[in-house]
Amino acid sequence: MAVNTPAPLVYRPGEGWSYEAVGGGGKWTRTRAKDQLDVAQQAFDAKDYGLALKAASRTVRVWPFSDYAPQAQYLVGRCLEEKKQDEKAFKEYQKLLEKYPKSSNYDEVVKRQYIIANRFLAGQWFKLFGYIPFFPSMDKTVEMYNKLLKNGPYSEVAPNAQMNIGAAREKQYDYTSAVKAYETAADRYHDRKQVAADALYRAGEAYLKQAKTAEYDQSVAGHAIATFADFATLYPQDPRVPEAQKKIATLRTEQARGSLAVAQFYEKKRQWDGALVYYNEVVARDPQSKYAEEAKRRIEEIKKRTVRQTAQN
């Protein structure tokens, strides 16, 4: 039997503790699932999200297998979202999709999860204990998108969710993971031309960003060139093709810069043959660049040095 007291916390056997306004304990509780859900829905419509959350939560807790539980679980998520508790709302929506996969508003819930994840992608902070603003986290954001994709890999929002995983990884400067996410989008949604084109182009851009940070591993620049070339070949009518071609030229220059750095390394070690190999590579990769001019000058210097050493010997 429930015992009401003037205290704001009330304990009900089998339900646990709940907060009650002084003098108002129990007025919102009902003995049937349908009636309890009605209380939750009416409170939600009146924008009394605190009462709606309590009534909906009780419906799910007391009658988890009733026909009214899915709608009650949905209202739990909606109330938390309205109360700006996005992370909790996402988790409650996830419970709905996992416990009640035949819910009539399944697609809507997936979209709501997507909107929540997007807010965190944009920089919204996660909250410690659900209340204290703590920090933004791209790892947690990616987890949200992954759950969303598991719920509906071919839903209306799934392609953008997969792309946003790449965007989140780029914010972490984890370009390798970003490329993987974009390539997954291009492969999984190859039948959606615009999505596949965007994914391939952004994979090339991620490679380009990574190439700018790689001093000696010029294979990254090679991957970027190949990706942009594939993009231009597969989607020749895309308005970004000229930009992709410019980036290919930039990447060839980047390759030349990297080869020049390697050549200079060998030259400092007095390994002349190795230095010549990479200086010649600079000229071959981007013959019109400033790096090629420097490489040609160093090639001549090394050749002169070799001639002088031969004469001395």
pLDDT tens, residue by residue, 146-160? 999 999 899 999 999
pLDDT higher than threshold 70 for residue 6: no
pLDDT band at 22 (very low <50, low <70, confident <90, very high): very low
| Percentage of residues of the chain with pLDDT beyond 70 | 88
Task: Determine the pLDDT at residue 59.
Answer: 97
**What is the mean pLDDT of the segment spanning 18-41?**
78
Dump strand ranges (E) for the chain: 9-12, 16-19, 126-128, 132-135
Task: Give the single-character DSSP code of 115.
Answer: H
CB 303 within 8 A of CB 279: no
Which carries the bigger pLDDT value, residue 253 or residue 132? 253
Task: Determine the pLDDT at residue 306.
Answer: 80
pLDDT band at 133 (very low <50, low <70, confident <90, very high): low
> At CA 108, angle to CA 106 and CA 114, rounded to 5?
110
CA distance 254 to 260: 10
Task: Determine the pLDDT at residue 307.
Answer: 81
pTM of the full predicted structure?
0.79
Mean per-residue pLDDT of the chain: 88
pLDDT band at 77 (very low <50, low <70, confident <90, very high): very high
Best CA proximity match to 211, nearest among 169, 246, 253, 242? 253
Best CA proximity match to 278, nearest among 288, 224, 294, 309? 294
Residue-wise pLDDT for 189-239, tens only, equals: 999 999 999 999 999 999 999 987 765 567 888 899 999 999 999 999 999
Residue 117 tokens read as 């994840």
Which carries the bigger pLDDT value, residue 10 or residue 226? 226
pLDDT higher than threshold 70 for residue 11: no
Task: Determine the pLDDT at residue 19.
Answer: 56
**What is the mean pLDDT of the segment spanning 128-141?**
79
| Percentage of residues of the chain with pLDDT beyond 90 | 69
CA distance 63 to 35: 12
**What is the mean pLDDT of the segment spanning 66-77?**
96
Residue 137 tokens read as 């986290």
pLDDT higher than threshold 80 for residue 14: no
Task: Determine the pLDDT at residue 23.
Answer: 40
Which carries the bigger pLDDT value, residue 288 or residue 33? 33
pLDDT higher than threshold 70 for residue 132: no
Residue-wise pLDDT for 251-294, tens only, equals: 888 788 888 989 999 999 989 899 999 999 999 888 888 899 99
Mean pLDDT lowest among 40-44, 63-67, 252-256: 252-256
